[in-house]
Amino acid sequence: MRLRLVVGLTLVLAALPLAGIARADADPAAIAALLHRGGAVDGRKVESRMLNRLYADRDYRPIWTAARRTELLAALAEAPSQGLDPGAFAVPKADPATTEVLLSDAFLRYALALGRGVLTMSDVDSDWAMPQPALDPVAVLNQALDHGMAATLASLPPQDTAYARLRQAYARYLDFTRRSAWGPIALKLPLKSGASGPEVIKLRHRLAAEDLVPASDDPRFDAALATAVSRFQAAHGLPADGIVGLATLTALNVPPGARLRTLRLNLERGRVMPRAEPPTRIVVNVPDATVTLYQENQSPLTMRAVVGAPNHPTPVLGATMVAVLLNPPWIVPTSIAEQEILPRAQKDPGYLAANDYSFDGQQLIQRPGPKNALGKIKFDLPNRFDVYLHDTPAKALLTRTRRALSHGCIRVQDPRELARRVMAADPKWTMAAIDAAIATGKTQRLTLPQPIPVEIAYWTAWVDADGTVEFRNDVYGRDQRLDEELVVHDLREQIAPARAAVVGSQD
Ranges assigned E (strand) in 309-342:
316-326, 330-331
Report cis status (omega within 30 of 0) of the bond before 86: no
Task: Give residue 491's region: left, alpha or beta (phi > 0; psi -120 to 50).
Answer: alpha
- Residue 487 has a pLDDT of 94
* pTM attached to this predicted model: 0.92
Do the Cβ atoms of 378 and 389 come closer than 8 Å?
yes
CATH fold, domain 288-328+377-457, is L,D-transpeptidase catalytic domain-like (2.40.440)
> In sequence order, which residues have a C-beta less than 8 Å from that of residue 196 and are 6 or more positions away?
219, 220, 221
Ranges assigned E (strand) in 124-175:
128-129
- Residue 35 has a pLDDT of 93
Q: Please report, in tens digits, the pLDDT of each residue of the chain (507 residues total).
A: 444 434 443 433 333 333 344 445 889 999 999 999 887 888 888 899 999 999 999 999 999 999 999 999 999 999 999 999 999 999 988 999 999 999 999 999 999 999 999 999 999 999 999 999 999 999 999 999 999 999 999 999 999 999 999 999 999 999 999 999 999 999 999 999 999 999 999 999 999 999 999 999 999 999 999 999 999 999 999 999 999 999 999 999 999 999 999 999 999 999 999 998 999 999 999 999 999 999 987 889 999 999 999 999 999 999 999 999 999 999 999 999 999 999 999 999 999 999 999 999 999 999 999 999 999 999 999 999 999 999 999 999 999 999 999 999 999 999 999 999 999 999 999 999 999 999 999 999 999 999 999 999 999 999 999 999 999 999 999 999 999 999 999 988 876 543 444 444 433
* Domain boundaries for CATH 1.10.101.10 within the chain: 183-254
- Residue 249 has a pLDDT of 98
- Residue 128 has a pLDDT of 98
Residue 9's CB is within 10 A of a number of other CB atoms, namely: 18
* Domain boundaries for CATH 2.40.440.10 within the chain: 288-328+377-457
Do the Cβ atoms of 93 and 22 come closer than 8 Å?
yes
Do the Cβ atoms of 193 and 226 come closer than 8 Å?
yes
The dotted CATH code for 183-254 is: 1.10.101.10
- Residue 24 has a pLDDT of 55
- Residue 445 has a pLDDT of 98
- 371: helix, strand or coil: coil
